[in-house]
A and B are shown apart, each in its own frame.
Chain A
Amino acid sequence: MTETTQLFLGLMGVLVTASVVAGILSFRSEKPLSSTLVNLNARIKAWWIMVAAMCVAFLFGKAGIIVLFALISFAALREYVTLTHTRRSDHWILLGMFAIIIPVQYYLIWIDWYGLYSIFIPVYCFLAMPALTALSGDTSRFLERISEQQWGIMLSVYCISHVPALITLEIPGYEGKKLLLIAFLIATVQGSDVLQYIFGKLFGKHRISPSVSPSKTWEGLIGGIVSASLLGAGLSWLTPFPPLQAGILAALACIMGFFGGLVASAIKRDRGVKDWGQMIEGHGGMLDRADSLVFAAPVFFHIVRYTWT
């Protein structure tokens, strides 16, 4: 049995178990269901759809993954820009972010031009955007407008694009299996999110930063990271790494993921919204689901690149 088949069967096992457990809980609890349970059911249902989307993308290989993550970037950037302050004179810049920057960044990953895709946004876009904004002649809240959009591109496009960029890494002895490295990253980071949620709901008492996010607790964080590291070590057969190193990489990705979630919460708190959007039933918007991946992906990418290639 190939690794891909094992991974697929494993995922189905997890989803079926989650659906059965949630079904039993819903059946046995009092009606009407508590909001936690309603939300849990919605989340599990959305997980089925997200896993299905990932599976379809994996079937199409490199092209499928790149298109999927370009669409994720599109959805994430749209949610982000909606919450920023924009003016009528920013119209062309905003249009360029969606219609030029996203396709170019993912095209550079497609053609495997590391030297350019790693600096295209932080150097060239970051210089071009303020220049074009200045040319438009509207200086009102200039610095705020520029930096908000630049950071949006950084989070939603640059960072997320490092997930499909894993395909471009040449790891000796790991040829032809690079999609599995992506599966490993997503499984550990998203797994850590779920595990932090579960540990937080079961044992959460001490809040880490009550003014930013009331749902993040030390118990949830530690339980989530420890268990996700074990998950990472257990999934080392997907990767070119031995179990210990896979566990350490997973732990790092999960810690970064935690910071991603924390930063996303701070932005939402500042803007007075609960979720980034309503795209994914039970979860909120695309960025609510992808915030941890945003922070984890570039760090994971660079550690793997410098250590194993």
Chain B
Amino acid sequence: MAAIDYRRYLQSFSGSVLAILARAITGVRPIWSGSSPSYRQRIYFANHTSHGDFILLSSCLSQEARAHTCAVAGADYWRSNRIRKFMAEVLLRTVLVERNWVERSQDPMVVMLDAMSKGQSLIIFPEGTRNMTDEPLLRFRSGLYNLAIARPDVELIPCWIENMSRVLPKGAVLPVPLLCRVIFGAPVAVKEGEAHKDFLHRAREALLNMNPDAKGERP
């Protein structure tokens, strides 16, 4: 029992330290437009350009909400060496899913639903990987739809993460201090009889529409 408690304290401590760091470096401020902060179980889905994304997103949540929220990440990357494995599993408390569906031993849906059945909110990146292209957002994978169907009681909140790709681009270890914002939009739900493709398209559009660049507010 003692070991479990120790681990939980370590996690909440490292979560707080990372949130403070994220705020000091990026001055991040959450913008709730369409939804409001809540302790309810939710699925936050966001654009993905940097390893810092879910740290930034979770630092926008209250400490209590953060304790019940974990990010879904790729097991192939985060289990590839011991340091990453320690960071992902112990410090960051991520839910690791295997992305390669040919070789995988565990169904990602089972892993994610298992975490949700323990009351966890999830942060997921439906693009499935970090977006390194000039496109603002890649095509969505079907995980988001499957989760929405399996847990219709849970709100799906689109979250647009701004500037994180400039703070911590792929391959960089040290972050450049730049101002970031996370915009939380109105929940998206699967409509009665909506086809899987239509829903993913609609969810993607909902996220894209929150991008201030697209509206010409920023350069």
User: Chain A: residues with CB nearer than 8 A to chain B?
Assistant: 74-75, 78-79, 81-83, 85-86, 88, 91, 94-95, 98-99, 271-273, 277-279
Contact = CB atoms under 8 A, between A and B. Distances in A.
A75 B178 CA distance: 9
Interface of B: 27, 29, 163, 166, 169-170, 172, 174, 176-179, 216-219
A86 B166 CA distance: 8
B178 A82 contact: yes
A7 B158 CA distance: 51
B169 A91 contact: yes
Given A86-B166, A271-B219, A78 B27 contact: yes
A75 B179 CA distance: 9
B87 to A, nearest CB: 21
Given A82-B163, A271-B219, A272-B216, A91 B27 contact: no
Of the candidates A74, A95, A277, the one having the most CB atoms from chain B within 10 angstroms of its own CB is A95
A78 B179 contact: yes
Contacts of B172: 91
B27 A272 contact: no
26 contacts: A78-B27, A79-B179, A81-B176, A81-B178, A82-B163, A82-B178, A82-B179, A83-B219, A85-B219, A86-B166, A88-B169, A88-B170, A91-B172, A91-B176, A94-B176, A95-B174, A95-B176, A98-B176, A98-B177, A99-B174, A271-B218, A272-B216, A272-B217, A273-B217, A273-B218, A279-B27
A83 B179 CA distance: 9
B29 A278 contact: yes
B131 to A, nearest CB: 13
B166 A277 contact: no
Contacts, number: 38
Contacts of B179: 78-79, 82, 277
B29 A272 contact: no
A269 to B, nearest CB: 12
A98 B178 CA distance: 10
A235 to B, nearest CB: 34
B218 A74 contact: no
Contacts of A86: 166
A98 to B, nearest CB: 5
Contact of A78 (B29, B177, B219): B177
A83 B163 CA distance: 10
Contacts of A85: 219
Of the candidates B166, B169, B218, the one having the most CB atoms from chain A within 10 angstroms of its own CB is B166
A31 to B, nearest CB: 24
Contact of B27 (A94, A98, A277): A277
A222 to B, nearest CB: 34
Given A81-B176, A271-B218, A278-B29, 5 more contacts: A78-B177, A81-B178, A82-B163, A272-B217, A272-B218
Nearest to A93: B176
A89 B217 CA distance: 25
